[in-house]
Amino acid sequence: MPLEPHPTSPLSILRCALVAAACLTAASVAQPPPDVTTPYGERVEVEVVNVDVVVTDRDGRRVTGLARGDFELRVDGKPLAIEYFSAPPGAARPRPAAPATVPDLAPAPVEPLPPSAAEPEGAALLVIYVDQSALGHFVRGHTLTELREFARTREPHERLMLAAFEDNLRLLAAPTAEPAEIEAAFTALEKLPARASLTVAERRRLEHEVRAYGKPQPMVRSTLEPELSQSQNEDQVSRRQSEELERLSTEITLWAEQEIDRQRRSVEAMGHVVAALAALPGRKTAVLATAGFDAEPGRYLLRFLAQKREYTAGASAIPKIAHLMDLGVRLSAEFEDLVRAAQNARVAFYTVSAPDPPPSANDAEFQSAGADQELPAPRDFAPVERSSSVARLAGATGGRTFMLDSTLDTRLGEVRDDARAVYSLGFTTGPEAGAKDHRIEVRLTGAGREGMNVRHRESFRRRSAEERQDEALMAAATLGETANGAGLRLEQGTPAPAEKGETARLVPIALRIPIASLALAAVGPLHQGRIRVWIGVHAGNGLVTTDAGTPIEIAIPDGDFERALSEVWVHRTELRLEPGRHRVAALVADEGAGTFATVAMEIEIGEL
């Protein structure tokens, strides 16, 4: 599942026990009683893919008067029929588009779905996500001020969610339309520490030490020490430089490892938010405040040190550090996974980042690269890498990139302008599409479209059953959004007293699963089935964790089967929770039916 529990998380001491409400052992496809009509989420065979499109003219104004026939949809370069179409308010009356199919994507003929099935309605959702591990103190303060003002202009039908990454994912406000809750969430965010300034200071220290490497330094000796010959003195200087080179290389490598680890955890945290949003219908808007991502944070310092080493000793450059390259490749791959996940979840990212300040006269770029050398330091590509990463995320999801400057308040207004001008082009696809990514292109047809720009997500992929379950559990734990057609019920027991010197308390949790909602198969004298249960917790401090899942085998003797259909199966667990308000969620996957259901509840843990 999405997130393994940390050593101090509520699930780190998860204790599981299974209790049947009757003496049960399990089932053929159990026919539920008449009052249980939709046990679990339906198995997905035919999937509706919606492509959200924003059209602007050559002056950047949004175009809202287009109809279905004005668009051409292509998947993997082949034209595809637009089966579902919705336009912004005030758009022209839709007219039919020319039919087209893509052989490897089109499913077997099915009854057309009603428009509501293609595009369920719901309140607009705006997510503000702040990666404060990457924002310095001043930049973060300015950014939060602008984002708070932007949040205050929330539209009546809009819900807002506020999340942040510090060392872990912090969910400060679940989707809410209450201004007081939004204000309180921003206040809580401002109180979280911003550690990016320490990272920047450490990088500057290393840069200055690299710049000073190889410069003549006085040799301090006791008057009792014998005088050294010139060759002995040169050997001592060389040995000292070699030790300094090794020390600097080690410190740069350690700093780069820490930076890559921080960025990977930030990407992972964003992935959890995207997974939760994927379970919600419609287009979602995310405003991301970040400095961006750089898979080679130590590249500049190591190149600069290698350059200094060559100038002072004439030796070969420091070779690339293999494990740093491996870590960077993994970060890049995980970032691309996030980009694809955001596209599949229909999350349009609008990124806000601060421009890198121009180098000053004291920066290494303007300094000599070595003693008696006039050559500049190597170019630092980190700003380019960070900028291109946020541009990649925004461009691939149909969003925009904004810079933190005096126009940011106006630019943020464009986020809602886009939301009011979205077209949705829908088509159906089935298992024939496979599990690969498919490239999406949307073009405008007809005359008078010159200069118009079309923004939309770049690709789609059919999500596996496991991915849908991950998303559903994260949505239940993170957002409180559930799909509980099975009639699942969570119950809280009496918390145990906290152990001496601790504040966390053990909280018994019971999950009641109606037997009639399960698909059980007749195997000899038994009805048998298999389910798997996952538990997720959104703790009061904002952390979201899930366990690894518990498989459960069910076997019910034929003689007890009819009675069992009116009983429940109880899954028990214990969570270690700190005082405060928490959300506990559960997902039950019926492996025989290939379906699942989710349930969530809010609990309050008091102090003793």
Q: What angle do CA 196, 286, 128 make, to 5 degrees?
A: 50
> Across residues 574-602, what is the average pLDDT?
93
- Between residues 473 and 501, which one has the greater pLDDT? 473
Judge whether residue 21 has pLDDT over 60.
Answer: no
What CATH code is assigned to 45-217+269-295+334-358+381-469?
3.40.50.410
- How sure is the predictor about 431, in pLDDT bands with cuts at 50, 70 and 90? confident
What distances in angstroms separate CA 518 from CA 44, 211, 532, one per listed residue? 18, 68, 12
- The Cα 422–Cα 88 span in angstroms is 6
pTM of the model: 0.80
- Between residues 142 and 377, which one has the greater pLDDT? 142
Q: What is the pLDDT of residues 114-136, one digit of tens each?
A: 444 444 444 588 999 999 888 88
pLDDT of residue 244: 85
What distances in angstroms separate CA 282 from CA 62, 87, 278, 443, 471, one per listed residue? 20, 13, 9, 22, 15
Q: What is the pLDDT of residues 125-165, one digit of tens each?
A: 899 999 988 888 888 888 999 999 999 988 888 899 999 99
What residue spans define the domains of the chain?
15-41+483-605, 45-217+269-295+334-358+381-469
Residue among 1, 22, 26 nearest 555 (CA) = 26
- Between residues 418 and 167, which one has the greater pLDDT? 418
What distances in angstroms separate CA 64 from CA 57, 97, 451, one per listed residue? 10, 18, 15
45-217+269-295+334-358+381-469 and 15-41+483-605 share a CATH fold: no
What distances in angstroms separate CA 355 from CA 1, 197, 327, 350, 384, one per listed residue? 37, 16, 26, 16, 11
> Across residues 428-442, what is the average pLDDT?
91
- How sure is the predictor about 105, in pLDDT bands with cuts at 50, 70 and 90? low
Within 8 A by CB and 6+ apart from 142, the residues are: 354, 404
pLDDT of residue 531: 95
* The total number of residues written for the chain in this structure: 608
- How sure is the predictor about 62, in pLDDT bands with cuts at 50, 70 and 90? very high
Residue among 108, 110, 51, 121 nearest 82 (CA) = 51
> Across residues 301-322, what is the average pLDDT?
68
> Across residues 593-602, what is the average pLDDT?
94
- The Cα 474–Cα 280 span in angstroms is 11
pLDDT of residue 347: 96
- How sure is the predictor about 573, in pLDDT bands with cuts at 50, 70 and 90? very high
Q: What angle do CA 394, 201, 6 make, to 5 degrees?
A: 65
CATH of 15-41+483-605, one of 3.50.50.60, 2.60.40.3880, 1.20.120.1200, 3.30.300.30: 2.60.40.3880
